[in-house]
Amino acid sequence: MGPTIKDVAKAAGVSITTVSRVLNQYSDVNPKTRTKVLKVVEQLGYRPNSVARSLVMNRTNTVGLVVSDLSRSRNGHHFMFDVLCGINDRVQELGYDLVLFSTSTTAQKKTPYLDFVRQRRVDGVLMMGIRLDDPYTHEVVEASVPSVLIDVPLISETCSYVTTDSVVGAKLAVEHLLELGHRRIGFVNGHAQAAVSKERLQGYRIALEAAGMAFDPELVYYGNFEQEDGANGTAELLRKFPDLSAIFFASDLMALGALKYLQTHSLPVPNSLSIVGYDDIELASLMQPALTTVRQKRYEMGQSAAETLIRMLEQNEKGRGIVLPPELVVRETTGVHEETTSDI
């Protein structure tokens, strides 16, 4: 293959120690020999072998991104890709390489987290799409290699997380609906093994109770963030509560499924039912009518995750939690609730 440091040393008439010194900007090398070495490096087109360097330095300058069910969930598509972009950009800016691993609950049972990270020799790991009951979730917080979780609020010496505040996100959504006069508001949540689901449920409940309304567990349906779950959820909620006037969905995809369902059943949105989604994926602004939703800054989440991981690596920072603020985006799927004549 290419020339090694030995070739450079020989050609420059110095020792490999000296070559290493000039390449790593050490001070104790004569300016003349420095330029001499650099010229030879240029001539030979020498590039240091990062594998050899990693071996002796015991660090790879590489972070792993493990994502659960990357190509499985459609909802993940919209959410994860932006986060991935943010991670990738920031990691690269900070001089690291990013290696991608997808996993699944079953795969995690086969290969313990530590095996995984010790073999791959990544300096740190980012994790996303993981469930609360996944094996890795608990292994990661106790591991000695730094990590940051996305949307899983766990902290340890070596483990941080970044998320966007789902309880205020849900609160924003529900408060918006309350202001529009809605009194019976359904909630189609994500699966219970997502931390955000718990938080969104909490936010939903807080908003209701702050308005002096009772929380009714029957009003919440658990889906899996996917389109069909939205349709099924609205169908069931509407069956149980014919007087429902609004539904809050834990993902835009579920809201879309609901919208489709309502349209095929000739139930106009927002006139017969107001709906609000979660995430603000690209689709949200494009559907007809455009979806009212809660925006998460996904790209920024990725950037932030990469940044805190690398700070843990380089500045020995301890684990901490970073929570970004969500943002309500009002579009066309929410309208004021017209009181029914029965009120008179």
Partner DNA sequence: CGTTGTATCGAAAACGTTTTCGATATCTAT
Partner DNA sequence: ATAGATATCGAAAACGTTTTCGATACAACG
Q: Which positions touch DNA (CB under 7 A)? A: 1, 4-6, 13-18, 20-21, 23-24, 27-34, 46-49, 52-53, 55-58
Q: Which is nearer to DNA, 31 or 217 (CB)?
A: 31
Please, what is the minimum distance in Å from the beta carbon of residue 39 to DNA? 14
Binding window for a second copy (CB under 8 A); candidates: 31-39, 49-57, 166-174, 207-215? 49-57
Q: How far is the CB of 194 from a second copy (least distance, A)?
A: 21
Axis-axis angle for helices 31-44, 16-23 (nearest 10): 90
Closer Cβ to a second copy, 276 or 284, answer by number: 284
Strand, helix or coil for residue 83: helix
Cα of first residue to Cα of last residue in the chain, in angstroms, is 87
Choosing among a second copy, DNA, none, which partner's interface includes residue 20 (Cβ < 5 to 8 Å by kind)? DNA
At its nearest, how many Å lie between a second copy and the CB of residue 256? 7
Which of 17, 43, 49, 236 touches a second copy by CB under 8 A? Answer: 49
Q: List helix spans (H) across the chain.
A: 5-12, 16-23, 31-44, 50-57, 74-93, 105-110, 113-120, 135-142, 166-179, 195-210, 227-240, 252-264, 282-286, 298-314
Site string for a second copy, 92-111 (x = CB under 8 A): x----xxxxxx---------
Rg, Å, the chain Cα set: 26
- Residue 59 CB coordination number (10 Å): 13
Question: Please, which residue, 81 or 222, has the CB nearer to a second copy?
Answer: 81
Estimate to the nearest angstrom the gap between the alpha carbon of 325 and the chain centroid: 14
The reply to whether 240 sits near a second copy by the rule CB under 8 A is no
**What are residue 136's phi and psi, to 5 degrees?**
-60, -30
Q: How far is the CB of 241 from a second copy (least distance, A)?
A: 28
SS3 186: strand
Whichever of 57 and 336 has its CB closer to DNA, that residue is 57
Q: Are 334 and 270 in contact (CB under 8 A)?
A: yes
The single residue among 66, 86, 113, 223 that binds a second copy, judged by CB under 8 A, is 86
Distance separating alpha carbons of residues 19 and 33, to the nearest angstrom: 9
Cα separation, 310 vs 96, in Å, equals 9
Whose Cβ is closer to DNA: residue 21's or residue 176's?
A: 21
Distance CA 152, CA 198 (A): 11
Torsion region of 48: left, alpha or beta (phi above 0 gives left; psi -120 to 50 gives alpha): beta
Instruction: Show contacts with a second copy in window 266-305 (CB under 8 A).
Output: 282-283, 286-288, 299
Which token pair is 292? 């009212």
User: What, of DNA, a second copy, none, does residue 118 touch, CB below 5 to 8 Å by kind?
Assistant: a second copy
Count of helices and strands (H, E) across the chain: 14, 12
Q: Please, are residues 291 and 255 in contact by the beta-carbon 8 Å criterion? A: yes
Work out which of 20, 33, 36, 89 binds a second copy, going by CB under 8 A: 89
Strands 293-295 and 327-329: antiparallel
Q: Least separation, in Å, of the C-beta of 192 and DNA?
A: 41
Residue placing its CB nearer to a second copy in the complex, 51 or 344: 51
Give the x-and-dash track for 323-342 against a second copy (CB under 8 A): --------------------
- Out of DNA, a second copy, none, what residue 30 binds, judged by CB under 5 to 8 A for its kind, is DNA
Q: Which is nearer to DNA, 41 or 195 (CB)?
A: 41
Instruction: Say whether residue 85 binds a second copy (CB under 8 A).
Output: yes
Residues at the contact surface with a second copy, assessed by CB under 8 A: 1-2, 45, 47-52, 54-55, 58, 60, 62, 70-71, 74, 77, 81-82, 85-86, 88-89, 92, 97-102, 114-115, 118-121, 256, 282-283, 286-288, 299
